[in-house]
Amino acid sequence: MKIRLSIRFLIIALAIVGVLFTFINGYSATYRAQKAMLVEMALDSNRVYAEKLASTTEAFLSHARSQLALGAELVAPMMEEGADYQKVQLELDRIQALSEGFNSVSVVNPAGMFVSISPQVLGLRGMFVPDSLKSVLKANKPQVIGPMIGPAGKYLVSLTHPIQNLAGEHMGDVVGTIYLHNNNFLDGLLSHHGYDDDSYIYVVSSSKALIYHADKTRIGEIVNGNRVIDRVTQGYSGAQEVVNSRGIAMVSGYAYVEDTGWGIVTQRPLTSVLNELDQQMWLVLLEALPAQAVILLVIGFLAFLVARPLRQLAESTISLDLDRLSRINAWYYEAYQLKGAINHEVDLLHEKISRFDNDRKKDPLTGLLNRRGMEEMVQASVVKNTNFALIVFDIDYFKKVNDQFGHEVGDQVLQFLAQSLGRYIGQKGTLIRTGGEEFVVFLPGLSLELAGQYAEEIRAYTEQEPIEAIHRPVTISLGVSYWQANEEVKEAFRRADMAMYESKGAGRNRVTVLGIND
């Protein structure tokens, strides 16, 4: 016996399939968009943090080298007088006591023998460095050596500075040593960070050997087959997704330390990044289910209304009641109701997707447009060939605000400044927060000269606007540039950034304007 399905069942089934397909497709599209946004944000965050650590590391190495250079200058007369052990030892003890990063400091003569070492408990005085290291020390120039296993059997990196007499002759080297398995300064610099999200940091040498890692047992390991390590050891900085040597998908940012050839990598497991998204999407699903249930009930009722005239038509056909048949008007009603129900569902999902897209372009702290929103605005002007001016600025000494009052008050300062300058700028342009304490004012159709004058007005307004949270105003350093058709947009932003840093370098709380030919 053939099963014949009723029109009501078919309409309800078709409606349910259509609603679910639309919902699932919208949900999937939202998930993909949010995933791409979160991964991009994580990549950018890790890149910025790696660059910050690289800068801090370079500053530390520069300071350490200056200590060794001063020590070499003071030890040189002592070496000329016959390597007075006591005087040399006192000077090394002073350097080692003042140093924040060296585990030991020593003087090695041209023959490769330890003349003196601090701390003395290491017992290396009178011993010789390995033959491979002797040839390196003969270079008579400052060097970074390692990683390697030292005479005391420890895995280390050494910084050296030559000791020279007045004639420039090589009399030995002052050597500062950092023990990679046990260095409080290195641990303090790299192991403590502000992210509580499974992020971690490691450092590799130019030979791809791990100099620092949270897992101390891996220090000294040579890592091959890792695209991030390959890139950073080639001198590049950036961010990318990668599967690490342990087979775990990572979101990595990396920065090259030019002075030593080291690479600093900060990374977070991709699963940790997506856990946040999964939680958000579950909340969206739970919020959407009641509305979907109500919509399906409405569709069932409408299906009954649509099916009733068709059933009447069938019954009239069976009974051959032509009068009743002529009074049934089913076709237009059926098409209209089905289309209305489905359109309603589609509109509902599009509204949710639109809301997600809008949130994606907003900075959650200040409510201003974020970098993604700015890029779309700029692209729209480029497509229309509409010239525009850029004012890039950040808050002077904002780190001191965070250090003195805490990050919560720092956030209040950012919110106040966003609201205050947003009202001041009004319809003249668009205020955008691009990250941290950095902002951009987008001014379509404004000339470079007028933009410079307007930037000065913004600067003057800001320094006179007291902020209740810190009981004083803040100042800002501004850079102004201009974009016109047939120029790369990134060049206009680069000039604005350069101008801002010129303002900071010239004393802060000022405006610098850079034109296309500047």
- Digit-coded pLDDT (tens) for 163-207: 888 878 888 888 888 876 665 566 666 665 545 567 888 888 888
Selection from 13-27, 256-270, 329-343 with the highest mean pLDDT: 256-270
HSE-CB of 345 using CA atoms within 13 angstroms: 26
Q: How many CB atoms lie within 10 A of CB 221?
A: 13
Determine if the peptide bond prior to 119 is cis (ω within 30°): yes
If one compares 240 and 301, the residue with the highest pLDDT of the two is: 240
Dihedral, CA of residue 406, residue 407, residue 412 and residue 417, to nearest 10: 110
Q: Is the pLDDT of residue 100 over 70?
A: no
Contacts of 56 (CB under 8 A, 6+ apart): 189
Q: What is the pTM of this model?
A: 0.47
Q: Distance between CA atoms of 145 and 61, rounded to whole angstroms?
A: 13
DSSP state of 222: B
Q: Give the angle 261-267-269 at the CA atoms, nearest 5°.
A: 150
- What percentage of the chain carries pLDDT values higher than 70? 81
- Residue 227 gets the label, from left (phi > 0), alpha (psi -120 to 50) or beta, of alpha
> What integer pLDDT is reported at residue 357 of this predicted model?
66
197 Cβ neighbours under 8 A, 6+ residues apart:
268, 272, 273
What's the fold here for domain 371-513?
Alpha-Beta Plaits (3.30.70)
Are 173 and 160 contacting, i.e. CB atoms less than 8 angstroms apart?
A: yes
Residue 117: HSE in the Cβ half-sphere, 13 Å Cα cutoff: 23
pLDDT of residue 215: 80
Q: What is the pLDDT of residues 348-380, one digit of tens each?
A: 545 666 677 677 889 999 999 999 999 999 999
Distance CA 107, CA 43 (A): 44
pLDDT class of 504 with cuts at 50, 70, 90? very high
User: From CA 161, how far away is CA 144, in angstroms rounded?
Assistant: 9
Dist. CA 269–CA 244, nearest whole Å: 10
E strands, 12-111, are: 104-108
With tokens 């599967």, the residue in question is: 243
Structure token pair of residue 253: 């940012």
Count CA atoms within 13 Å of residue 219 on its CB side.
Answer: 24
Helix/strand/coil for 240 = strand
In the chain, list all ranges with CATH 3.30.70.270. 371-513
Q: Rounded mean pLDDT of 28-42? A: 83
